[in-house]
Structure 1
Amino acid sequence: TMAHWFHRNPMKPTEYVKFELKKMLTSEASGKICSELRLRREKLLELFRNAGNDLAEVDKEFNDYLRLFAGFLVDISASAGGDPSKADSKLIPVVRFQWGHSMLGTAATELSDSWFEALNLIECMAMWLLKHAAWVAGKDEVHEYEAKECLSCLRRAAGMFAFVGANL
């Protein structure tokens, strides 16, 4: 049946990310952040597996992970001097991420690029939002607030896909 292909995300994380940066960590707090990143990533990926999970919980985990991960994307110290989104982090190439492509067989794409991880996770979140909207809309009886949630999920997913497309 081809129906499942329309809601399938071909890119999937294939390897556990440890965020072990022992030689680079300068404080106990940075070690805790890396440990927290590992735990939050695993929990987020687990939540993505079920479209029936609570939207607020998935949103919270997604946002919490990206907030912690921001230091791997942009130079946080540049925020004092202007727009931090304009300065890339020195940590971008430090961690190796591996994502498989389910439609291309067992070959996986592996990069030491934090933006690769972030954009793939944003795409996963967008796919989850689409699946969640379909799950809510597929109920026997859909209330008005649920219909609004579906529309909101679809709009957010569209924005996330546009963001990923613009930043590839």
Structure 2
Amino acid sequence: MDLLSKRIQKAAESVLENEGLVSGLDESTAALLQDWGIKNVKRIAEETGDLSDEHAEEAMYPKMKASRRLMRAIRVWVQREKESSQEEKDQLWLKLEKMAQALYGEALSLPSSTKFTGKTSVEFIRNLLDWLENNSLEKKGAGEKKTSLRSLFNR
């Protein structure tokens, strides 16, 4: 197994082994969130293909951390949203948006949480994650960022 494959596998295992990312969620909701987390960290790891391990770790750390924080924020939203006051919901949503911005770019602005409403928590999470993947500015500029990341570490 080459270095990149090992790095990708390690990134995926970091999501699988971190039960706190999905604890308290029903099985199907946890599986959806965990699958997205794995897909996301694999993408982050793949962007480090031509970097040394040291530089790859340095480059991946902020995005891996942001991914975990976003997963936790989504989990907390799903668990608390129904029992929370409107003020608490607003605070939770702002925190979720902040975590999404750390991963997808500061310019990201989430619409109201009602845009993502579904009959189940699985539908809510699927709607939210689909929106994030389709509307992220980070994704649209990924090629440029990937190149600049590599140029920083390829000396």
TM-score bracket relative to the smaller structure: 0.3 to 0.5
**Larger strand fraction of residues:** 1
Tell me the TM-score normalised to structure 2 length: 0.36
Greater gyration radius: 1
**Larger helix fraction of residues:** 2
Tell me the TM-score normalised to structure 1 length: 0.33
